[in-house]
Structure 1
Amino acid sequence: MKIFPAIDIKDKKCVRLIKGDFSQKTEYQMSPVEQATQFIDKGFKNLHIVDLDGALAGETVNLDIIKEIVSKFDFKVEVGGGVRDFDSIQEYADIGVDKIILGSAAIKDKNFLKKACKKFPKKIALGLDAKDGKLSLSGWKESSGISTLDFLTEVNDYGISRLIFTDINKDGTKESPNFDETLKVAEISNCPVIISGGVSSIEDIKKAKTLKNIEGVIVGKAIYDGDIKLEELAKEDA
């Protein structure tokens, strides 16, 4: 089970949102680079980064900060937020990002997703952010009206290397992930799935370990608020 501590960047700071709502934003004292230092010092091997400014702007905004983290630390980094074209994917690939997450652009244009998977083999992760079973777009500000499972079925054979499933209703709430919906996604996905949204305890991690086709778990707010101790979490990272 891979543990992905999360760094969400907004205005060059680490922040956490509740249910993707920018008006319910908590800023934390540590800079993204300082936070990454803490994670590497505890022995984590993977890192999940979201460029929230990028998600809102529809383009990469915090490339300089992400480049510093990737070059400075020995993480396998996955990055999402505002990746809308091949140039953005290439920028992240060039600085050594392990997986580039496509979300809104992939949902709006399945052909773009298909071409990206072919052009950047083993580099493309698909981010499916859902609310009440429907996919959301553009920093979660709008609903696509598209069923999560229907969309996945359509793109399942494109060569996606990883799928990150987030239940927006759970994100930032620390109410435990939506395991039932995640299981439905994992059962039909051709690639391994990462659980995102609502992780509140080590028990959530241990439950995730029992599920089929689950590659890892993203942990955010529970770390920043001290509900999960980094030392304890690091022991689950393998």
Structure 2
Amino acid sequence: MKIFPAIDIKDKKCVRLIKGDFDNKTEYKMSPLEQAAKYKDHGFKNLHIVDLDGALIGETVNLEIIQDIVGKFNLKVEVGGGIRNSDSIQKYIDAGVEKVILGSAAIKDKNFLKESCEKFQNHIALGLDAKEGYLSVSGWKESSNQLALDYLKEINDFGVSRLIYTDINRDGMKQSPNFNETMKVAKMSNCPVIVSGGVSSIDDIKKAKNLENVEGIIVGKAIYDGDIKLEELVKEDA
């Protein structure tokens, strides 16, 4: 089980949103670089970064900060937020990012996803962010009116190397992830799945470990709020 501690960047700060709502955010004192150093010092190997500024405007805004993190700490980083074209993907891969997460752009344009998987083999992760089973796009501000499972059926053979499934209603709520929906996605998916949204305790991590075709889990707010101690969490990281 890969543990992905999360860093969400907004205005050069670490923040956490409730259910993806930009008006309902908590800012933390540690800079993204300091937070990444903390994770590295505790022995984590993977890191999940979201460029929230990028997600809002559809461009890579915090590339320099992310370059800095990758360069200094030798962590396996996956990055999402506002990646809408091949140039942005290339910039992140050149910066040493392991997986580039496509979300809105991939959902709105399946061909873009297919071409990206072919051009950047083993580097493309797909972010499926759902509310009541329906995919949301553009920083979760709009619904796509498409069921996550229907979309997955259509793109399952494109060559995505990792799938991140987030239940938006659980995100930042610390009420445990939506394991039922995640299991449906993992059962159908041709690539390994990452659990995301709502992790509240070490018990959630242990539960995720028993799920088939689940590669890892993202932990965010529960770390920042002190509900999960990094010393405990890193023991589950394999």
**Aligned equivalents of 1:147, 1:227: Cα separation in 2:** 32
Per-residue deviation, residues 72-107 of structure 1 (Å, max 9, x unmatched): 001000000000000000000001000000000000
Equivalent in the alignment of 2:24:
24
Equivalent in the alignment of 1:119:
119
Equivalent in the alignment of 2:179:
179
Q: Aligned AA for 1:236? A: E
Task: Give 1:18 shift.
Answer: 0.4
Equivalent in the alignment of 1:13:
13
Equivalent in the alignment of 1:165:
165
**Aligned equivalents of 1:144, 1:213: Cα separation in 2:** 26
Equivalent in the alignment of 1:138:
138
Q: Aligned AA for 1:169? A: N
Q: Aligned AA for 1:189? A: S
Q: Aligned AA for 1:223? A: I
Confirm or deny that 1:147 pairs with 2:168.
Answer: no
What do you get for the CA RMSD once the two structures are aligned?
A: 0.3
Equivalent in the alignment of 1:42:
42
Q: Give the alignment's TM-score, normalised by structure 1.
A: 1.00
Paired residues for 1:220-231 under 5 Å: 220-231=220-231
SS at match of 1:198: coil
Equivalent in the alignment of 1:199:
199
Q: Give the alignment's TM-score, normalised by structure 2.
A: 1.00
Equivalent in the alignment of 2:108:
108
Q: Aligned AA for 1:194? A: I
**Aligned equivalents of 2:22, 2:120: Cα separation in 1:** 32
Per-residue deviation, residues 9-28 of structure 1 (Å, max 9, x unmatched): 00000000000001110000
**Aligned equivalents of 2:119, 2:74: Cα separation in 1:** 25
SS at match of 2:35: helix
**Aligned equivalents of 1:37, 1:89: Cα separation in 2:** 24
Identity %, equivalent residues: 76
Task: Give 1:113 shift.
Answer: 0.1
Runs of 4+ in structure 1 over 4 Å off = none
Task: Give 1:196 shift.
Answer: 0.2
Figure out how many residues of one structure are paired with residues of the other and give that number. Answer: 238
SS at match of 1:44: coil
Where in structure 1 are there 5+ consecutive unaligned residues? none
Per-residue deviation, residues 147-196 of structure 1 (Å, max 9, x unmatched): 00000000000000000000000000000000000000000000000000
Equivalent in the alignment of 1:67:
67
SS at match of 1:84: coil
Q: Aligned AA for 2:2? A: K
Confirm or deny that 1:3 pairs with 2:29.
Answer: no
**Aligned equivalents of 1:205, 1:55: Cα separation in 2:** 27
